[in-house]
């Protein structure tokens, strides 16, 4: 097998959750810009004259997310307030005359075309010299998959995982078809509605325009990075996305990220878990193959036999 980062033991989802709560936000590289509450903005500000701002939902190196309401109709939204840094990239996209911050541009592109409910919608945005604000849909009641797994005892059964994975694979595939490489498909970036089980892919902040040539830097989360990046220093967008989907699926089913030994067992068809079907093991192996060329194609995942044993009409209806 190729070179991989050695893990002493599998990292549990509970540990990920605790790290998520305890890790302090990374400081901005732009020292002159802080993260004031949006209500400190001038009264004529476009966004905050149209939206009320509520409690803080989250904070990190990217900035701050607040709960909000659209004043004209009371629609619940999330306002993501992001500080610009000196090296923040802006890109040109069709129908927009000036370059946009990459996260705004990629979210617009991922939603271009018919509505796909599994991809978070950008409702509004505003670009300022030192920061930008994104107004995003805010499904309720929802939680990310780290919280969802913890609430369900640390791992999920195969049927629940299947319902989630169909939606995640669909969202990732649509993004790529629309020329967007999300590059950070992970448990934290997947919201699930506790009442409808609808899943949404969020946060395009680590993404890039999908290209045919290899990428030589990785801006996503290390635990989801493909092995070819560590062994060769490069990777292709499609196979890397498939690998991250495999990590998500494995974590949902097993409650921890796959160790090197787990990956060895998968590759040699010896991995098993009580109650896990043959089709499920086959899909895991097809997603987490060490060689990118041997992984299942992103557009083929939803046609795998594992998804044919459950009624997915509710997910496909939209």
Q: What is the pLDDT of residue 226?
A: 98
Question: pLDDT higher for 25 or 77?
Answer: 77
- Block residue for tokens 């995640």: 168
As annotated, the residues of the chain forming the CATH 1.10.510.10 domain(s) are: 142-316
First CA to last CA distance, the chain? 41
Contact 260, 7 (CB under 8 A): yes
Parts of the chain belonging to CATH 3.30.200.20: 24-137
Residue 34 pLDDT greater than 80, yes or no = no
Give the model's confidence band at 147: pLDDT under 50 very low, under 70 low, under 90 confident, else very high.
very high
Confidence class for position 115, pLDDT limits 50, 70, 90: very high
The DSSP output letter for 259 is: P
Residue range 161-172: mean pLDDT, rounded: 98
Per-residue pLDDT at 98: 93
* Tally of CA atoms within 13 A in the half-sphere of 268 that contains its CB: 7
Q: Supply the pTM of this predicted model.
A: 0.84
Give CATH for domain 24-137. 3.30.200.20
317, burial (CB in 10 Å: exposed 0-12, middle 13-18, buried 19+): exposed
pLDDT at 61: 67
Task: Tell me what pLDDT residue 37 has.
Answer: 47
CB atoms within 10 A of CB 102: 19
**For residue 310, pLDDT beyond 90:** no
Mean pLDDT in the chain? 86
The answer to whether residue 294 scores a pLDDT higher than 70 is: yes
Q: How many CB atoms are located within 10 Å of the residue 288 CB?
A: 24
Fold of the CATH domain 142-316: Transferase(Phosphotransferase); domain 1 (1.10.510)
SS3 assignment, position 66 = strand
Asked if pLDDT for residue 40 goes beyond 80, the answer is no
Check if the beta carbon of residue 187 is closer than 8 Å to that of residue 146. Answer: yes
Q: State residue 155's pLDDT score.
A: 97
Average of per-residue pLDDT across 219-236:
96
Rg (CA), the chain: 20
* DSSP H or E segment with residue 64: strand 63-70
Beta bridge pairs of residue 126: 133
pLDDT, average across residues 119-137: 95
Q: Is the pLDDT of residue 25 over 60?
A: no
Predicted confidence at residue 217, as pLDDT, reads 94
Task: Work out the pLDDT band at 60, boundaries 50, 70, 90.
Answer: confident
**Tokens standing for residue 231:** 């062994």
Helix orientation angle between 237-254 and 158-177, rounded to the nearest 10 degrees: 160
Question: Which is catalytic among the residues 55, 184, 188, 260?
Answer: 184
Query: 184 an active-site residue?
Result: yes
pLDDT in tens, 230-272: 999 999 999 999 999 999 999 999 999 999 999 999 999 999 8
Q: Report angle CA 105, 108, 110 to the nearest 5 degrees.
A: 110
Please tell me the predicted confidence (pLDDT) of residue 58.
Answer: 85
pLDDT at 8 over 70: no
Residue 221 pLDDT grade (very low, low, confident, very high; cuts 50, 70, 90): very high
Q: Are 182 and 315 in contact (CB under 8 A)?
A: no
CB 115 within 8 A of CB 95: no
């Amino acid at each position: 097998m190729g070179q991989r980062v050695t893990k002493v033991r599998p990292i549990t989802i509970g540990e990920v959750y605790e790290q998520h709560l305890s890790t302090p936000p990374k400081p901005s590289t732009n020292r002159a810009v802080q993260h004031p509450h949006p209500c400190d903005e001038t009264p004529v500000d476009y966004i905050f004259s149209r939206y009320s701002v509520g409690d803080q939902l989250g904070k990190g190196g990217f900035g701050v997310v607040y709960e909000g309401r659209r004043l004209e109709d009371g629609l619940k939204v999330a306002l993501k307030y992001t500080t610009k840094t000196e090296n923040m990239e802006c890109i040109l996209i069709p129908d927009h005359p000036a370059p946009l911050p990459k996260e705004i541009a990629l979210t617009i592109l991922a939603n271009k075309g018919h509505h796909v409910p599994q991809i978070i919608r950008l409702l509004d945005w505003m670009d300022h010299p030192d920061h930008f604000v994104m107004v995003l849909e805010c499904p309720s009641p929802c939680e990310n998959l780290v919280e969802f797994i913890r609430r369900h005892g640390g791992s999920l059964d195969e049927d629940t995982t299947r319902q989630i994975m169909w939606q995640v694979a669909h969202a990732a595939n649509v993004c790529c078809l629309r020329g967007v490489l999300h590059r950070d498909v992970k448990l934290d970036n997947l919201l699930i509605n506790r009442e409808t089980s609808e899943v949404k892919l969020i946060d395009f902040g680590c993404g890039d325009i999908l290209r045919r040539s290899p990428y030589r830097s990785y801006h996503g989360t290390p635990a989801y990075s493909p092995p070819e990046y560590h062994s060769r220093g490069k990777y292709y967008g499609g196979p890397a996305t498939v690998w991250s989907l495999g990590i998500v699926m494995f974590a949902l089913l097993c409650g921890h990220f796959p160790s090197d030994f787990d990956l060895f067992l998968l590759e040699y068809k010896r991995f098993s878990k009580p109650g896990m079907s043959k089709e499920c093991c086959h899909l895991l192996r097809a997603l987490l193959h060490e060689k990118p060329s041997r992984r299942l194609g992103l557009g083929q995942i939803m046609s795998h036999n594992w998804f044919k044993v459950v009624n997915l009409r509710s997910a496909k209806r939209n």
